[in-house]
Amino acid sequence: MTLEADPVEELVALGIAADLSGAARRRLATIARIEELPAGKVVLREGQPTLELGVVLDGRVALQTHLPGRADLTLMTLDRGDIFGWSAALGDPSTSSVVAQVPTRAVLLERDGLLDALAADTEFAAVIYRRLFQAVTSRLVATRLQLLDLYASAEGRA
């Protein structure tokens, strides 16, 4: 396997695991794996247990919500470096469905191992929670901009 095939190295490269000590990285390695997600693969389903927390390496996944009687609505798409499934870190059910929009490579951290690690290793927890918090913040900003209707304009000039 090449280096980039190592999930921890990938996460370090993305900055997500860069601040982790060696011990914490080893702990991470025990719960992280890289997976190839074929287009259309449903990684997480809205309302179901969030069994994995994921980070996109290549490709693209869509966050979708189900509208009864209508096609699922894509709320947002995620690219390299974006985190999904963070409910896993809380043990909560998934707040949206996550679907691979194109063939996608992602690092997946399985939930139970993640919860154990967060509970057992405060240094690990501090770094991971900080990353998750950053992800939540930028997602909130993006959502706010969508609410504001980013492209609404009163301009007379075209």
Partner 1 sequence: MTTRPEPPVAHDDPPRFLPRAELDRLFGALRATGRTVIGPTIREQAVTYDQIDGTDDLPIGWTADTAPGTYRLTRNDGVRAFDYGIGPTAWKRYTHPPRIPLTVSAPSPVGPTVAPVTPDAPPLAFVGVRACELAALRIQERVMRAGPAGDVDHAARRDAALVVAVECAVAGSTCFCTSMGTGPEVGEGADIVLSELDEGFVVRAESGPGQVVVDALRVDAASDDQTGRATAQVAELRETMGDPVPTAGLPERLRAAIDHPHWAEIAERCLACTNCTLVCPTCFCTSVGVASDLDGQAATTDRTWDSCFSLGFGRVAGDANFRPRVADRYRQWLTHKFSTWWDQFGSSGCVGCGRCIAWCPVGIDVRAELLAVAPPHAPAGPIPWPVAPPDGHAPAPLATVEPARYVETEVTDVRRETNDTVTLRLATDDAALLAAQPGQFVMVAQPAQSAPPISISRILPDALELTIRHVGPATASLTAARPGGRFALRGPMGRPWPIDEARGRDVVIVAGGIGLAPLRPVLDAVLRDRPRFGAVRIFHGARTPADRLFVPELAALAGRVDVEFAEIVDRAGPDWFGRVGVVTQLFEHATWAGAGATAFICGPDRMMQATVRGLAAHGLSADRTWVTLERNMACGVGLCGHCQLGPYFVCRDGPVFSVAELGDAFTTEGL
Per CB under 8 A, which region of 17-25, 79-87, 112-120, 122-130 contacts partner 1?
Answer: 79-87
Candidate list 4, 36, 79, 116; residue touching partner 1; CB under 8 A: 79
Site membership for partner 1, residue 69 (CB under 8 A): no
The letter for the amino acid at 84 is F
Distance CA 47, CA 95 (A): 6
Q: Which of 8, 57, 62, 108 binds partner 1 (CB under 8 A)?
A: 62
CA distances (Å), origin 146, targets 78, 79, 122, 132, 155: 15, 18, 35, 21, 19
Q: Does 156 contact partner 1 by CB under 8 A?
A: yes
Is residue 1 within the footprint of partner 1 (CB under 8 A)?
no
Report yes or no: 33 and 64 within 8 Å, Cβ to Cβ.
no
Q: Is 151 in the site for partner 1 (CB under 8 A)?
A: yes
The residues binding partner 1 (CB under 8 A) are 14, 60, 62, 71-72, 74-77, 79-82, 101, 138, 141-142, 145-146, 148-158
